[in-house]
Amino acid sequence: MCRTCGCSEHGVHDHAHAHAHEHEHEHEHEHEHEHEHGHSHADGHTHAHADGHTHAHSHADVHAHDHDHDHADAHAHADTPRHGSVVSFEQALLAKNERLARANRRFYEERGILTLNLMSSPGAGKTTLLERTISRLPGVSTRVIEGDQATERDADRIRAAGAQAVQVNTGAGCHLDAHMVSHATERLDPEPGSLLLIENVGNLVCPALFDLGERARIVIFSVTEGEDKPLKYPHMFRAADVLVLNKIDLLPYVSFDVERSLAYARRLRPELRVFRTSATRGDGRDEWCDFLRSEVGGVS
């Protein structure tokens, strides 16, 4: 996981247009302190930090806010020496994430909000699928959390399609975590009985390890990617509840055996539910939207 890519241990924010702000940390060893650090963001971004926590910002002023953050040890910040093993750091990181994910899940369940975590490699068609989905769910209040390393482009596309969206930029980070999603949810303020779609950062590795508090995990896999992807990225496919096989309009032009690929995926997750779609041409869209509508009805 992040042992290899380092996304959760190192600085993941952009210093290009830094400003100072203050905030408070609550540590598990029960002291609080305030500190300042310079970092940058465009308005409306949630920002990931070196120690795996995030801040939501809606304005550029100096301001104070609280958040909760615990450490693998007292000095696990990226700018201080690490103590202990990398493995124990990761275990603590994932344990913290799981705690926050449980809180997210409780929040969503209490309000009857259907939250889905959409994951794929870059370019599988997540954003296009969401764009084409939103307008086809009349009567379903739909909000979207967009995860990308940089830019507001996908959130802009979602807003243009008619849904409220919050963009989370992870900088060097390659996945969303439960804390980022918690802040983004606060900002989106989804209403009871609504649909909250989380488009994770395009990556088939790390996102599989981070529970966000979602009700279900959707993996989007396009026929241009190679039919053996489930074998190469088993964690992602094993963790998925639903598989959307996208870009099926391109099947005549690529070498991709659909049945063999689905067999690979079902070997990992026998109960996997599968939709075959072309987000651009419209294949499978009705079935996908019917599924979302019935799932929203099922939780609210």
Which residues are at the interface with Mg ion (CB under 5 A)? 126-127, 154
Q: Which is nearer to Mg ion, 72 or 223 (CB)?
A: 223
Using alpha carbons, list the distances in angstroms from residue 118 to 26, 49, 58, 215.
31, 23, 25, 11
In angstroms, give the least distance from the CB of 201 to Mg ion.
9
Q: Measured at CB, which residue is nearest to Mg ion?
A: 127
Q: Which is nearer to Mg ion, 50 or 134 (CB)?
A: 134
Q: Which is nearer to Mg ion, 146 or 211 (CB)?
A: 146
Helix, strand or coil, per DSSP, at residue 275: strand
- Maximum separation of any 2 CA atoms in the chain, in Å: 62
Q: Which is nearer to Mg ion, 23 or 149 (CB)?
A: 149
Other CB atoms within 10 Å distance of the CB of residue 183: 22
Q: Which is nearer to Mg ion, 154 or 214 (CB)?
A: 154
The beta-strand segments (E) located in 27-185 are: 32-39, 46-48, 54-56, 66-68, 114-119, 142-148, 164-169
In angstroms, give the least distance from the CB of 285 to Mg ion.
18
In angstroms, give the least distance from the CB of 151 to Mg ion.
10
In angstroms, give the least distance from the CB of 86 to Mg ion.
30
The Cα 131–Cα 162 span in angstroms is 8
In angstroms, give the least distance from the CB of 171 to Mg ion.
16
**How big is the chain by its Cα radius of gyration, in Å?**
19
67: closest CA among 83, 86, 48?
48
